């Protein structure tokens, strides 16, 4: 996909809709990491506290890192909710997870960029991507990643709101 602008949700999900297990992502695809970096560089990335804690190297460089939490964490900007974080943002914003952030970000995002990994993940500690309401989101075409055809991708765009509402 070419560079997009606005507020996007970005996630990788297993066939079952799993995004993480026990505080980590249970797969690794370098093509997807490279694409994630390319898309998010220069923008604001908004994440939940557990996703921040899960990052092996933090902050993610050359991006404004923002954490949503009731706590204060040294070395990173923190906000108690997404709306107050967004009030300080200019330019492109990516909601990078985890599940709680994705769920709340559905109200604020213009599009959802999903990568489907081929892994099967069944684990008691699994967390899932929230349901996508197709009355609100229009599904784009399912396309393979050009560098790794095992990975499929779909972008959902927010449907135009009915102006008579």
Ligand X SMILES: NC(=O)c1ccc[n+]([C@@H]2O[C@H](COP(=O)([O-])OP(=O)(O)OC[C@H]3O[C@@H](n4cnc5c(N)ncnc54)[C@H](OP(=O)(O)O)[C@@H]3O)[C@@H](O)[C@H]2O)c1
| ∠ CA 90-93-94, rounded to 5° | 170
**How many residues make contact with ligand X (CB under 6 A)?**
27
Q: How far is Cα 80 from Cα 86, in angstroms, rounded to an integer?
A: 11
In this structure, the dihedral spanned by the alpha carbons of residues 27, 99, 137 and 28, taken in order and rounded to 10 degrees, is -10
Instruction: Give the shortest CB-160-to-ligand X separation in angstroms.
Output: 26
Instruction: Show the binding pattern over residues 125-164: x = contacts ligand X (CB under 6 A), - = does not.
Output: --x-------------------------------------
Q: Are 39 and 113 in contact (CB under 8 A)?
A: yes
**Which neighbouring-strand residues pair with 48?**
68
Q: Which of residues 42-61 bind ligand X (CB under 6 A)?
A: 47-51, 54
| Binding residue for ligand X, selected from 45, 96, 106, 109, defined by CB under 6 A | 96
| Binding residue for ligand X, selected from 59, 63, 69, 130, defined by CB under 6 A | 69
Instruction: Fill in the DSSP letter of residue 146.
Output: T
Instruction: Show the binding pattern over residues 6-25: x = contacts ligand X (CB under 6 A), - = does not.
Output: -----xx------xx--xxx
Q: How far is Cα 81 from Cα 84, in angstroms, rounded to an integer?
A: 6
Instruction: Give the shortest CB-47-to-ligand X separation in angstroms.
Output: 6
Question: Taking the CA of residue 95 as centre, how many other CA atoms within 13 Å lie in the half-sphere pointing to its CB?
Answer: 30
Our finding on whether 104 is near ligand X (CB under 6 A) is yes
- Residues in contact with ligand X by CB under 6 A are 11-12, 19-20, 23-25, 47-51, 54, 68-71, 81-82, 96-101, 104, 127
């Amino acid at each position: 996909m070419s560079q997009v602008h606005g507020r996007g949700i970005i996630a990788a999900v297993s066939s079952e809709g799993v995004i993480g297990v026990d505080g980590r992502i249970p797969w690794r695809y370098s093509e997807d990491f490279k694409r994630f970096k390319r898309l998010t560089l220069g923008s604001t990335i908004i994440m939940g506290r557990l996703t921040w804690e899960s990052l092996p190297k933090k902050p993610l460089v050359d991006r404004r890192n923002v954490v949503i939490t009731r706590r204060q964490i040294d070395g990173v900007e923190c906000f108690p909710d997404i709306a107050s974080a967004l009030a300080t943002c200019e330019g492109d914003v990516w909601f990078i997870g985890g599940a709680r952030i994705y769920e709340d970000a559905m109200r604020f995002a213009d599009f959802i960029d999903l990568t489907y990994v081929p892994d099967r993940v069944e684990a008691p500690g699994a967390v899932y991507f929230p349901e996508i309401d197709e009355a609100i989101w229009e599904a784009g075409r399912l396309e393979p990643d050009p560098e790794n055809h095992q990975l499929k991708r779909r972008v959902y765009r927010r449907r135009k709101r009915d102006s008579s509402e």
